Amino acid sequence: MIPKQALKHLTTAVVLAAMFGSPSTMAAEEKETAEESTPFDAPAIEMPAPAPAVLGFVDARRSQSLNGKWNFIVDPMGVGQPGGFFGGWATDRVPVDEWQVLEYNYAGSRKISVPGDFNTQFEDLLFYRDGVWYQRWFDVEPKPGKRYHLWFGGSNYTTSVYLNGTPMAKQVGGYVPYSIDVTDALKSGGNDLVISVNNRLEKHSVPTPRTDWWPYGGLIRDVMLIETPSAHLVNAKVELADLSGRVEGVVATQGLRAGDTVTVSIAELDFSTEVTVGSDGQGQWTAMLKPELWSPENPKLYDVEFATADEQLSDRIGFRLIEARGTEIFLNGKRIRFKGISTHEEPIGRDGAAYSKADFEALFGEAKALGANFVRAAHYPYARHAAQVADELGLMLWEEVPIYWNIAWENPETLEIAKDQITRLVTRDWNRASVVIWSVANETPYSEPRMAFLEALINEVRSLDDTRLVSAALLGDVSRELKDAALYLAAYGAASDEVSKHERDIFKAMLDKAGDHAPAVGSGFELVIDDPLGELLDVVSYNEYFGWYYARFIAPQLGVSEKTVRKLMFKFMEHVVLSAAFDKPMHISEFGAGAKSGKRGEGPWTEEYQAEVYRAQSRMIMNSPQIQGMTPWILKDFRAMLRTLPGIQDYRNRKGLIDENGQRKQAFYVLRDFYEGSWANVE
Ligand code: GCB
């Protein structure tokens, strides 16, 4: 029997279908709904998006942490939806006596820690990608004249928030901060907060379901209730405009009237200015401050204060200038190289998503120990602590959104999600001196719709922040490149006495066929990245896997063993020159090889082989003058459900220079030597 409460919300067509089957006269669209619905479904609830503007300076605001233990229900069938047959609002959830049947109840549920992904808090959820519910109570005494904002550092992937039975907002897209003004729904005393999070990804989401990392689900980051005066500062941007020492700023406020002021001061520079806001709540300022500049060698930060009539906020902000001129990169007017390493947002020694300052201090501390001055924070926005720690440690940072491989380029909703993610990332971190690159994509194959999508995104980024470099990790035209490379390898093979006679004959036949085009041993092989997206970028970045995947692709094409190709490739790499068809700096955003920590020997998966790939790559990069930076793949082994190989991968990508527990592999030291040696200084 269909409960009355559910009936109320179901469309006539759905109810008829559920009770009597689908009448054949039903319109096609209704029929589809009827087939997918059951009488137990809850009504769809329309919810607005969270506040469009990111609330800045959250660590300096009055707040109540909502971190801690929450009630938690795993709901693969989607029955927890309020208003549905099984669900219900928190107030219904305590049975009046033992005669009342409740099939959905938070009392007695598992407890989960927030922040923290759910996949790694419970063994049975490691591979889970679907809906869960969080619930907790919190006490508050709302004060008149104040506004209250529920703030989330980031949750994965679709999050719907209900407060005291009222649907508040729905955020689509993971990894970025958002807030919801809940002032009108708050009660004095106990408040019931219910949140549904679903980490299922779809074709049109950002990213799509297939990724080479595990998109940990849940309330992965801090949750707070933030109190602001009703007239308050929303966000502000402070930046060094040029090397003369001119600093510019923008303030964005809410509730202030045109003519009201925000005082911006930096005591250490003996500076204070009154910024008058206009009718749009925004104001701008500029001043000649000549601050001491931030750099990896001198990560100088200043306390900057923002005060309105009702509040006083502060942040630690550094000043620096990053520029690309021709094929070179300059920090504070001096040529530099990015001595980098790629990372995922995973802590050392614990599975799951990193979320605390200590997590990032440990992770980025290993990057420092490697001699790095740069980190590529792949492939999505990390918790806010990442850039704060990079600011303090003196690490330049590449930040990225999860536009990964192919996404639904032609879907307007997908573009909206991507824009929302990059806007929230940029406006959260635009005061972090460490951030020098915004990256809009990773390995996206060429197509016209991809070009239009990424152009829109790049324009969005530049309009928000034109003081940083824009890049994307490009894929190149791998099949073309490998075909060309195979012929060069054949030249090495034909001259080698380490290959079998049969293989030598294959190489010779290839060279004969190429005739005059046959390359000689030792002749340079130039690989030019000409993806038209390069035209729109400041830095042309390229992911390449010479010494790892490329050998695997080439061997079967030639009909020779992978061992032969791998050995020849190390020699051949010395003569490869990488470049880009644009007068711009080039960055090697990835190279790498898999190694199981402690596995010794000489073939793939051994530490020795990985170290050899790093040596060969270093030589290749030294040969390629357009390359100004590199971020090999990757600092630490990480969870990747694409990586199933038993005994070696066990659902981890093994290209780390350290394993998941922090144990360093041989290649760590090879890269450290390179960063301290040949790559240390710009000649
Ligand atoms: C790539 C991807 C990265 C993968 C890596 C790998 O090109 O950008 O996400 O994890 O290769 O290990 O294959």
Tell me the H-state helices in 465-598.
Answer: 478-494, 501-514, 549-558, 562-573
Per-residue confidence (pLDDT) for residue 238, from 0 to 100: 98
How many CB atoms neighbour CB 500 within 10 A? 11
Mean pLDDT is lowest, of 245-249, 352-356, 399-403, 481-485, for 481-485
Q: Whose CA is nearest to atom 7 of ligand 1?
A: 543
Domain coordinates in residue numbering, the chain: 4-36, 58-229, 233-320, 325-475+585-676, 478-529+544-573
Our answer on whether the CB atom of 439 is closer than 6 Å to any ligand 1 atom is no
What sign has the CA pseudo-torsion 337, 341, 342, 348?
negative
Predicted confidence at residue 88, as pLDDT, reads 60
Structure tokens at 166: 């009222």
Q: Which atom of ligand 1 is nearest to the CA of 543?
A: 7
Mutate to test the pocket of ligand 1, among 590, 641, 657 (most ligand atoms within 8 A of CB): 590
Q: How far, in Å, from the CA of 211 to the mean position of ligand 1?
A: 9
DSSP string, 217-268: -B--S-EEEEEEESSEEEEEEEEE-STT-EEEEEEEEESPPTT-EEEEEEGG
State if residue 655 touches ligand 1 by the CB under 6 angstroms criterion. Answer: yes
Q: Do domains 58-229 and 233-320 have the same CATH topology?
A: no
Q: Which of 12, 73, 11, 87 is nearest to 42 (CA)?
A: 87
CA nearest neighbour of 264 among 243, 241, 245, 236: 236
For residue 211, the ligand 1 atom closest to its alpha carbon is 9
- Per-residue confidence band for 482, with pLDDT thresholds at 50, 70 and 90: confident
In ligand 1, the atom with minimum distance to the C-alpha of 379 is: 9
Q: Does domain 233-320 have CATH number 2.30.40.10?
A: no
Cβ–ligand 1 distance for 327 under 6 Å, the answer no
What pLDDT digit, counting tens, does each position of 176-185 carry? 999 999 999 9
Nearest atom in ligand 1 to 638's CA: 10
Which atom of ligand 1 lies at the shortest distance from residue 594's CA? 12
Cα–ligand 1 centroid distance for 118 (angstroms): 24
Q: If you search the block for the tokens 């971020």, which residue do you land on?
A: 631
How many Cβ atoms are within 10 Å of 326's Cβ, its own excluded? 9
Helix (H) or strand (E) holding 4: helix 4-9
What are the distances in angstroms from CA 407 to CA 444, 446, 460, 536, 643? 8, 12, 18, 19, 21
What's the confidence (pLDDT) of residue 30? 38
Does any ligand 1 atom lie closer than 6 A to the CB of residue 364? no
Distance, in Å, from the CA atom of 643 to the CA atom of 213, rounded to the nearest integer, reads: 9
Strands 223-229 and 146-152: antiparallel
Could you write out the DSSP letters of every residue in 435-487?
A: EEEEEEEESPPP-HHHHHHHHHHHHHHHHH--SSEEEEEE---HHHHHHHHHH
- Homologous superfamily of the 58-229 domain (CATH): Galactose-binding domain-like (2.60.120.260)
Which whole number is the average pLDDT over 203-212? 96
Nearest CA to ligand 1 atom 13: 212
Tokens standing for residue 291? 């601050």
How far is the centre of ligand 1, averaged over its atoms, from the C-alpha of 619 (Å)?
22
What pLDDT does residue 23 have? 30
610 near 594, Cβ under 8 Å?
yes
Give residue 387's pLDDT: 98
Amino acid type, 228? T
Nearest CA-CA partner of 123 in 352, 345, 349: 352
Between the two ends of the chain, the Cα-to-Cα distance in Å is 80
Strand partners, 595: 605
Distance 595 CA to ligand 1 centre (A): 14
3-state secondary structure of 590: strand
Alpha-carbon span 504 to 518, nearest angstrom: 15
CA distance 462 to 477: 27
The encoded tokens of residue 174 equal 């993971």
Distance CA 440, CA 159 (A): 23
Token representation of residue 123: 């063994």
Strand partners, 135: 71, 194
Q: What are the pLDDT digits (tens) for 416-461?
A: 999 999 999 999 999 999 999 999 999 999 999 999 999 999 999 9
Name the band, by pLDDT with cuts 50, 70 and 90, for residue 45. Answer: confident
Sheet holding 166-172, edge to edge: 110-114, 68-74, 131-140, 189-198, 158-163, 166-172
Domain spanning 325-475+585-676, CATH architecture:
Alpha-Beta Barrel (3.20)
217's tokens: 């689900």
- Write the pLDDT tens digit of every residue in 523-577: 889 999 999 999 999 999 999 999 999 998 899 988 999 999 999 999 999 999 9
pLDDT band for position 228 (50/70/90)?
A: very high
617 or 37: which leads in pLDDT: 617
Binding site membership of 442 for ligand 1 (Cβ less than 6 Å): yes
pLDDT: which is higher, 570 or 6 = 570
What pLDDT, on the 0 to 100 scale, is given for residue 447?
95
Rounded-to-integer distance, Cα 497 and Cα 513, Å: 21
The finding on whether 373 has its CB within 6 A of some atom of ligand 1 is no
Alpha helices by DSSP H, listed for 526-606, are 549-558, 562-573
- Binding site membership of 212 for ligand 1 (Cβ less than 6 Å): yes
Q: pLDDT averaged over the chain? A: 92
* Residue identifier of the C-alpha nearest atom 4 of ligand 1: 212
Cα–Cα distance, 399 to 672 (Å, whole number): 23
Tokens of 157: 């992937």
Please name which of 636, 619, 43 lies closest in space to residue 352, comparing C-alpha atoms.
636
What distance in angstroms lies between residue 394's CA and the mean position of ligand 1's atoms? 26
Least confident of 396-400, 433-437, 480-484: 480-484
State the pLDDT at residue 50: 97
User: Both tokens of residue 120?
Assistant: 């790694």
Alpha helices, H only, 374-447 = 385-393, 412-429
In the structure encoding, which two tokens stand for residue 219, read together? 């309330």
> Nearest C-alpha to atom 10 of ligand 1 is from which residue?
212
Q: What is the spatial distance between Cα 492 and Cα 484, in angstroms, rounded to a whole number?
A: 14
CA of 263 to the centre of ligand 1 (A): 46
Q: Which long-range contacts (CB under 8 A, 24 or more apart) does 509-515 make?
A: 510/486, 510/558, 511/487, 514/487
How many angstroms does the Cα of residue 72 sit away from the middle of ligand 1? 33
Q: What's at 319, amino acid-wise?
A: F
Q: How confident is the model at residue 95 (pLDDT cuts 50, 70, 90)?
A: confident
CB distance 226 to 62 below 8 Å: yes
Residue nearest to atom 9 of ligand 1 (CA): 212
Taking the CA of residue 87 as centre, how many other CA atoms within 13 Å lie in the half-sphere pointing to its CB? Answer: 26
CB distance 192 to ligand 1 below 6 Å: no
**pLDDT band with cut points at 50, 70 and 90 for residue 61:** very high
The CA-atom distances, in angstroms, between 459 and each of 135, 202, 549 are 40, 26, 34
Report residue 254 as tokens: 């809410």
For residue 212, report the distance from its CA to the centre of ligand 1, in Å: 6
